[in-house]
Amino acid sequence: MITEQYYAQTYAKDGFFSIKDLLSKEEVEEIRRANLECIAERPEGIGILYEDNDPNKTVRTTMGHHAAHQALDRLVRHPQLLEIAEGLVGSPVYVSQFLINTKAPIKEGKVQGKRWMPHRGFTFWREFDGYSDQDKMTTAFVNLTPQTIENGALYFFKGSHKISLDQIDEETERHFEERYGSQKHGSEDLSLQIKNEFLRRYQKLHDRVDLIGNGGDIWFSHPLALHASDENCSKESRDIAVIRYNSIINLPSHPRKEGYWCSRDYRPLTPFSP
């Protein structure tokens, strides 16, 4: 039997761990339908990012809509997710950011679902929102479809979270264009990138682990864990929900104005009960 101690030890050593089959096939499909409904209905507070920052192209990311649909609200307040998140950060938590990344399938032989370049989540939250304590945050990745090499599964560099904030400043290169606004933070060409010489070093130092798995599998990762994903070269969509849990004692000093990037609802979450 896998214990909470095992999760904590693996998280501290590798920067991530998995829980297999936490959600049923029916629950996963309900979440995917909820996402599509929110895209169609555009509830207040939702943010939608498109490939190449072009609204005429495919949806890349849907953000901030967890409170707009019961199925998504149930997901972020799943009792086991909350228990693990609170255990990892050591206090009650709220959702600082919620998103669903969708990599569209190949269409007419052309790639639609683009890659995510190697990055550390905390680099963005610290820079753009003013979070100060990386150990008071954690991320749950929820597989909403099978994750394979062909469809661009998420991958991590094992142990890469063991890095100082001074080293993060040294490795970071800024690629920001005002004409894209905050959309740039979630585009293929990220606004904060890791310099090539550092990336080459990390690729030698840290083993790459592809998070291959089924819909319903969960991965928790440390905010400093270096991760990325390749483009979707398959004929099926590759979808994954991302829940950023943050301690109620680690509030941002200058949150972004768009609530879908950085929530201002700091109330501690309570587990969902039917």
* 51-83 confidence digits (pLDDT tens): 988 888 899 999 999 999 999 999 999 999 999
On whether residue 266 sits in a domain, the answer given is no
Q: How many structural domains comprise the chain?
A: 1
On whether residue 178 sits in a domain, the answer given is yes
**Cβ neighbours of residue 262 closer than 8 Å, sequence gap 6 or more:** 96, 97, 125, 128, 129, 252, 255, 256
pLDDT confidence tier of residue 191, bands split at 50, 70 and 90: confident
On whether residue 167 sits in a domain, the answer given is yes
Which of 19, 144, 31, 166 is CA-nearest to residue 87?
Answer: 19
Judged by DSSP in three states, 205 sits in helix
| C-alpha–C-alpha distance, residues 114 and 60, integer Å | 8
* 208-246 confidence digits (pLDDT tens): 999 999 999 999 999 999 999 999 999 999 999 999 999
Q: Say what the pTM is.
A: 0.94
CATH of the domain at 127: 2.60.120.620
> For the residues 14-30, what does the mean pLDDT come to?
96
pLDDT confidence tier of residue 91, bands split at 50, 70 and 90: very high
On whether residue 48 sits in a domain, the answer given is yes
Between residues 185 and 189, which one has the greater pLDDT? 189
pLDDT confidence tier of residue 263, bands split at 50, 70 and 90: very high
State the Cα torsion 230-233-236-240 to the nearest 10°.
0
In the predicted structure, residue 179 carries a pLDDT above the cut 60 = no
| C-alpha–C-alpha distance, residues 48 and 28, integer Å | 21
Strand partners, 96: none
In the predicted structure, residue 1 carries a pLDDT above the cut 50 = no
Helices (H), 160-267: 165-171, 196-205
Domain with 230, as residue range(s), is 4-247
